[in-house]
Amino acid sequence: MTRPIRIGTRASKLARAQAQMVQAALAATDPNLSFELVAMTTAGDRDVHKKLTDWGYKGLFTKELEDLLLTGEIDLAVHSMKDMPSVLPDGLVIAGMLPRADVRDAWISTQYATLRDVPSGATIGTSSARRAAQVLHLRPDVTVIDFRGNVETRLRKLDEGVAVATFLAAAGLNRLGLHAHIRETIAPESMLPAVAQGAIGMECRAERTEMVELISRISHAPTMTCLAAERAFLEVLDGSCRTPIAGLATLDHGQLTLRGEVLSLDGKIRHFHEMHGTETEATTLGVALGNHLRTLAGEALLTHG
């Protein structure tokens, strides 16, 4: 390519760091490549006072970047895959993913080492419907408040006493060099993570075959397989920011394990199931688990949480 490859990213420090990881990986494949980072704010970034559950559509952190892809103003977009809706706009494709990082949630608190140590009635902050429901399922005696903002903002809110603790993705904290703030990483057996947590995806126009090929050079096949299962699971459930849904696929010597969970917003109802298959059955496994949990949960729970 004669001109720089334009990499679209959200403007946050974490998003930029992830875009730079993609840039470095691509640069390692060809020293003649050059790049330009195009950073922008999305709807979800601009209105930090509005709860994520109150938005009426998906793609709060991706739509603007996808619009730039469709108009040709950027060549590829870098996303935290857990922000991606289960269905992409026509003409766009996830052409590759970097190797997945730590999938776990991290417990952050200046006062308490674990969720178990928090006293009854204490306030815990999170912007995630999933994390809120999981906390209330484990500890119905605490209060959960909406807690939005970038990583630095949430850490500052803890220092100011807005809440005694919060949860953040361990992968994001590690990428920012903020792992020292982690008091405990939560095992998936206790808190199943969000679908695609810890994964960085690269999206481009499907017709840009040269870009699809370039991205494929740095794509991690096991991560793609696991996320194919998780995203098929999510698509069946048609989960929104309002519906507490968790899912995690793991791959071991060609054998795929997929675990999924749906909860009510107040955490009082929880449906969990896991299925097993081969790596070639990733999408089929995701659809099967999604249908099973849809039957268990019922339409009322999936519609209203």
pLDDT of residue 56: 43
**Cβ contact 92:204 at 8 Å:** yes
H-run or E-run covering 250: strand 245-252
| Interstrand relation of 245-252 and 105-108 (parallel, antiparallel or unpaired) | unpaired
DSSP codes, 11-76: SSHHHHHHHHHHHHHHHTT-TT--EEEEEE--HHHH-TTS-GGG-SSS-TTTHHHHHHHHHTS-SE
| CATH class, 220-305 region | alpha beta
- Annotated active-site residue in 30, 45, 75, 83: 83
* Structure tokens belonging to residue 274: 């896991």
Series of mean pLDDT values for 10-residue runs along the chain (305 residues): 88 95 97 95 55 50 91 96 92 98 96 96 94 97 89 88 94 94 96 97 98 98 98 86 90 97 95 97 98 89 70
pTM of the predicted model over 0.85: yes
Residue 83 annotated as catalytic = yes
* CATH fold match for the domains 105-186 and 220-305: no
Q: Does domain 105-186 have CATH number 3.40.190.10?
A: yes
Specify the 3-state DSSP secondary structure of 9: strand
- Write down the domain spans for the chain: 1-98+199-219, 105-186, 220-305
Query: In terms of CATH, what superfamily is 1-98+199-219?
Result: Periplasmic binding protein-like II (3.40.190.10)
Report how far Cα 31 is from the mean position of its chain's Cα atoms: 31
pLDDT of residue 278: 97
What are the residues facing 167 on neighbouring strands?
107
Report CA-CA distances (Å) from 271 to 105, 110, 274, 295. 20, 32, 11, 10
